[in-house]
Chains A and B, each alone.
Chain A
Amino acid sequence: MLLSELQYAALLSYASHGDSASVQHSRDIMLTLKRDGFFQGASNRQILASEWVAQTIQRNRSALPFASFLSPDTILVPTPKSSLGKEVAQVLSRVRPLRKAALSAPENRPLPKEYYDSMEVQKLLPEPSSIVLVDDIVTRGSTLLGAASRLAEAP
């Protein structure tokens, strides 16, 4: 079964094309997130992008949109990377590599079906009431649709 719709919440939204200063700023943030670089926080302290994202969501978790996604019994599942490397928690893992979407031209981005075919559910979850998939950058949502479809059919 291939899902065609998913609800999502995002901390930031990304303007992908163009030359304006705000588009370049948005691109700088995206590239920093992608390589997990550093942001400049209070009193010039450097903070790892992934830590800033985690802290900011944590601080806002009782506010919308996060409040409707993060209940006490929600299980967070990381979306597999395009490579076959080790994951934080191997609930879902890549069994076949797949070209990266965020960095490829729209016509070359893999379809949800290709993501679905590239992943397997590794571990049985203790019957969670809700699962939230987590990813760094969502472009068309194909990775998430593929991953959610895999999870939905897990026994």
Chain B
Amino acid sequence: MAHHQTNRALRPEQLLGPLNDVEQKYAPETLYVAGVMDIPLPAPRAAIVGSRKASPNGVKAAEEIATRLAKSNVIVVSGLAKGIDTVAHTTTIEAEGRTIAVLGTPLNRVYPRSNLELQKTIERHHLVISQFPIGMPTAREHFIFRNRTMALISNATIIVEAKDDSGSLHQGWEALRLGRPLFVWKSVLDDESLVVPKKMLEYGAMKLREPEEVLEFLPSQDQALEVVQ
């Protein structure tokens, strides 16, 4: 397959296929994409998200999950933030998988600065997506909007490590609202100090014990389900 560089502005439906009313609610009007992936996006896609300040155990979990997904031809989606996001992208690239970075900044900006090379690599060989037009000043809440958009782009979301106020939890609630599978890594739920992840189980999140459990909740590559009318 010829992989040519794409750099364009798309409506979310062009990138993801048709959206229902619930999905349209927080869908950005335009998504700016740069990279080499097919449009509309191939499936399945799973987001791996978590703390910026990742613990050694969190890093290990993110590596295990990303490797397992990459080897099963799942596109790993993350937010290019420090910590878990960075591990998710780099591990996927090392495992020769495919990855998508969903940014909280416009495409021509990098945050954090330390991920400049990583963002360039993803743009050159994978795909970078932003809902923010070039020139738009970055605000704090953009990273939360980004997490909602990431939930929309991903067939499932996996929270690997999180604090009760972290952006990945916003993404978790959005995944639930969208009726998409949400997984919370076991150690997040075993952490006595965290309340929100446990609350999410009551609303339909699932405890993730082994990375391969995710595979049972992902759609196949062939997205067109034909029916008789």
Contacts and interface: CB of A to CB of B under 8 A. Distances in A.
Interface of A: 17, 24-25, 27-29, 31-32, 34-42, 45-48, 52, 55-56, 82-83, 97-100, 103-105, 108
Nearest to A17: B216
B142 to A, nearest CB: 25
Contacts of B178: 35
B226 to A, nearest CB: 5
B28 interface: no
A48 B23 CA distance: 12
Contacts of A48: 20
Given A28-B225, A38-B17, A82-B204, 18 more contacts: A24-B220, A25-B225, A32-B225, A35-B20, A35-B179, A35-B180, A37-B20, A38-B18, A38-B20, A40-B224, A40-B225, A41-B228, A42-B229, A56-B227, A83-B203, A100-B203, A100-B204, A105-B206
Nearest to A38: B18
Task: Give the secondary structure class of B's interface.
Answer: loop
15 contacts: A28-B225, A34-B179, A35-B178, A36-B20, A38-B18, A39-B225, A39-B226, A47-B229, A55-B229, A56-B227, A82-B202, A99-B202, A100-B203, A100-B204, A100-B206
B25 to A, nearest CB: 13
B95 interface: no
For the complex of A and B, list the 4 residue pairs with the smallest distance between their C-beta atoms, beginning with the closest.
Answer: A100-B204, A35-B179, A41-B229, A39-B227
Contacts of A32: 219, 225
Contacts of A108: 207
Contacts of A46: 17-18
B104 to A, nearest CB: 25
A82 B199 CA distance: 12
A46 B18 CA distance: 8
B40 to A, nearest CB: 12
A103 B204 contact: yes
Nearest to A24: B220
Contacts of B1: none
A103 B227 contact: no
Contacts of B26: none
